[in-house]
Amino acid sequence: MKYVDEFRDGKLARGLAGAIAREADGARRYSFMEFCGGHTHAISRYGLIDLLPANVRMVHGPGCPVCVLPIGRVDMAIELALEHGVTLCTYGDTLRVPASKGLSLMKAKARGGDIRMVYSSADAVRIAQENPDKPVVFLAIGFETTTPPTAVAIKQAKALGLKNFSVLCCHVLTPAAISNILESPEVRQWGTVPLDGFIGPAHVSTVIGSRPYEFFAEEYRKPVVIAGFEPLDVMQAILMLVRQVNAGTAYVENEFSRAVSRDGNLKAQDLVAELFELRREFEWRGLNVVPYSALKIRKEYAEFDAECRFPLAYRSVADNKACECGAILRGVKRPQDCTLFGTVCTPENPIGSCMVSSEGACAAHYTYGRFRDAAA
Amino acid sequence: MAGVRPDYVRPLDLKHGRVDMTHGSGGRAMAQLIEELFARHFDNEFLRQGNDGATLPMPTGGRMVMSCDGHVVSPLFFAGGDIGCLCVHGTINDVAVMGAKPLWLAASFIMEEGFPLADLARIVESMARAAKEAGVPVVTGDTKVVEQGKADGVFITTTGVGVVPEGVTLSGDRARPGDVILLSGTLGDHGMAIMAQRENLGFSAPIVSDTAALHGLIAAMLETGADIRVLRDPTRGGLATTLNEIARQSRAGMMLEEEAIPVNPEVAAACEFLGLDPLYVANEGKLVAIVAEADAERVLAAMRAHPLGRKAARIGAVTADDHHFVQMTTGFGGRRIVDWLTGEQLPRIC
Ligand code: SF4
């Protein structure tokens, strides 16, 4: 606990806030995107917006694994549970992602699907081991952080000779999403989304290292500061970004050096490369089809690939027309701009995926920040 | 932006919907189910009080409180207690927070075929001990057995009855702007004790449930003669849910101070590890009191003088707010909403 407290010191935070206010140039605006849902959550949970001057704005990015999971993929998981008699295991928030026909995994569970929430991929392997007669599928979601544990689970299942375990792989890649945003017309041509820099992912970067961001910094002239998920990390990163913008520089800085190196975790990278390969394309909720942005299980491990074992076809399903998740995930709109926000769409009845996980922009604003709209 | 929209919840789909786990979590989904189904059909002036127990006029004069509570906790035995003492404490507390002196309990057991008698004996002994210590006997009961797989070990439902002393009126709709919010101790001990056991977290210092009967502490608080408006025990859904319920009943807002809210370091660490917020984790031996500002220090002193209120703290105040928001100044000086619990934070904890 001690370790955590050190990064939550209110006095230090106010000191950093003072420095940001002093150094931010009153004559200009600063617009930074925090890529990760973890940062979005920290900003909302600790009310960090209140500590920033009015001309420093944070734009929420697409780095919430639950938010970018497309409807069609959840539909596949529901189909596995309801039609193929599969025991489906997945991480908590995924259960609430709205899918087709008014269903979600949670609702499919109430309809008799054997759907279980697990805290780790190892739990799913254990469930397969304990129920040798039942096919068990782990719905694997997430960015580079959750991929190595999925790889470990598959290897473990292989070592145990499990014949009833497979993975529905929905792992996605951070750098592909960042380029997609930087290449979007709103940022590149129209400039409707001013982006002066990025707060780079914490946990993801412990795996992939800081090197992949060097390209963005250089090619797009945007500073990147990799930061931890603690509120003080976020404040420190914002200060570093303000300084880079003021100095006109655009390089990768590492605020999270207590955990991130330039090369990342090579062992984890090797493991992932051994089991997974790039998908030619993958649909993201909000970003549409992004080329080479996700992973699939290699042929050598096809027996652990649910997409090979079960007759499943991916069908793309459009979001509710009024849902602005796509624009929100690209930083073009804010949750309050959506007409469904807080009326038809609430955390109990999420219409779009941004309302599901507390790391999603809509849910974070609803749960922690909507009093601000009352004051506006 | 035309201000914030009022709390809107899509009506329940009674034709095609199904009960899912969120309907039992203590959060907004459960509140909605109660409101749109149970309260609508059972509607009467006592149910409309919307408290954990109903205050009823006795035909012979005076007022009594009646409260009922089902227990489905898993695991049945946990650090600091078991389902037996838990169901006694829980019901005594629901009666006591209405200002009543708890007098009698009834208990109904639903047992699963195959459940070891040794475990049942342990549970019943623990219940008896808790009832004896509290001075509130179990005076009637019922037992049913269902086939294997139709229940999980044993489910216990307890009902409690008590009498309200003259001059005491406690209800969730009595909080007024300017009132002070007091909390009797650390948050989240019960929920995290269960969670740590379920997830095999194996912390070096085990987290122990706070399960306890609060009627003694409450009696000491009432003895001060202070103007106590609301008492409630923040069980399922945690402090956040309890305060939102009170805010809604009283049509007021609240402002909390994060730094003032006591949390055991082990509980904070376990919450951190599992990504949970102690504000939403269940307690079984804590209460919140909403007290007139002028009397706050007196009540706080009485709480601290009692063994179950040693770590009591003043954690915030009631505010005037048409949106009935519960807000909090974070340890950082920023502000956030402390909303209703969404979805299901913890499975089967009480
Ligand atoms: S409020 Fe709901 S519908 Fe609107 S953008 Fe957010 S998730 Fe989509």
Residues B30-64 have pLDDT tens digits of 888 998 999 999 999 999 888 889 999 999 999 99
Mean pLDDT, all residues of chain A? 89
Chain B interface, mutation test: which of A346, A353, A357, most B Cβ atoms within 10 Å?
A346
A371 Cβ contact partners less than 8 Å away, ≥ 6 residues apart: B4, B323, B325, B327, B335, B337
Choices 1.10.3720.10, 3.90.650.10, 3.40.50.300, 3.40.50.10470: CATH for B180-337: 3.90.650.10
DSSP letter string, B39-86: IHHH--TTGGG-SSSEEEE-TTSSEEEEEEEEE--SSSEETTEEHHHH
The pLDDT score that the predictor gives to residue B343 is 66
The complex's ipTM works out to: 0.70
Quick: pLDDT tens for B103-115.
999 999 999 999 9
User: What is the pLDDT of chain B when averaged over all its residues?
Assistant: 91
Cβ of A324 below 6 Å from ligand 1:
yes
**What is residue B336's three-state secondary structure?**
strand
Most confident of A35-44, B145-154, B331-340: B145-154
The answer to whether B69 and B90 are in contact (CB under 8 A) is yes
* A232 → chain B, closest CA residue: B332
What's residue B2's pLDDT?
A: 35
Closest CA to B171 of B108, B245, B118: B245
Rounded to the nearest angstrom, the distance between the alpha carbon of B233 and the centre of ligand 1 is: 35
Give residue A3's pLDDT.
42
Residue A340 CA to ligand 1 center (angstroms) comes to 6
pLDDT score of A258 more than 90: no
Architecture (CATH level 2) of domain B39-164: 2-Layer Sandwich (3.30)
Per-residue pLDDT of B173-226, as tens digits, reads: 999 999 999 999 999 999 999 988 877 666 666 899 999 999 999 999 999 999
Separation CA B141–CA B105 (nearest Å): 9
Residue B117 has pLDDT above 50, yes or no: yes
Least confident stretch, A22-36, B45-59, B227-241, B263-277: B263-277
A76 lines ligand 1 (CB under 6 A): no
Is the pLDDT reported for residue B3 higher than 60?
A: no
Cα gap B102→B219, rounded to integer Å: 11
Q: What is the pLDDT of residues A281-335, one digit of tens each?
A: 999 987 889 999 999 999 999 999 999 999 998 999 888 888 988 888 777 888 9
Indicate if the pLDDT at residue A85 is higher than 90. yes
Mean pLDDT across the stretch A214-218? 87
Task: Supply the pLDDT for residue B204.
Answer: 60
pLDDT of residue A371: 82
3 state DSSP class of A23: helix
Alpha-carbon distances, residue A278 vs A26, A67, A173, B332 (angstroms): 45, 21, 9, 42
Q: Report the 10 Å Cβ neighbour count for B137.
A: 12
Q: How far is the CA of B122 from the centre of ligand 1 (A)?
A: 51
Question: What would the pLDDT profile of B273-283 be if each residue is shown by its tens digit?
Answer: 777 889 999 99
Distance CA B255, CA B245 (A): 14
pLDDT for the residue numbered B7: 54
Instruction: Kindly determine whether residue B20 and residue A107, on different chains, have CB atoms separated by under 8 Å.
Output: yes
Q: Provide CATH code, domain A71-171+265-309.
A: 3.40.50.11740
Give the pair of three-digit tokens for residue A331: 């930083």
> How many Å lie between the alpha carbon of A105 and the closest alpha carbon of chain B?
11
Q: B159 φ, ψ to 5°?
A: -125, 140
- The predicted-structure confidence for A102-151, as pLDDT tens digits, reads as follows 899 999 999 999 999 888 899 999 999 999 999 999 999 999 989 999 99
For position B98, what pLDDT does the model report? Answer: 96
Annotated domain spans of chain B: 39-164, 180-337
Q: Is residue A4 predicted with pLDDT exceeding 50? A: no
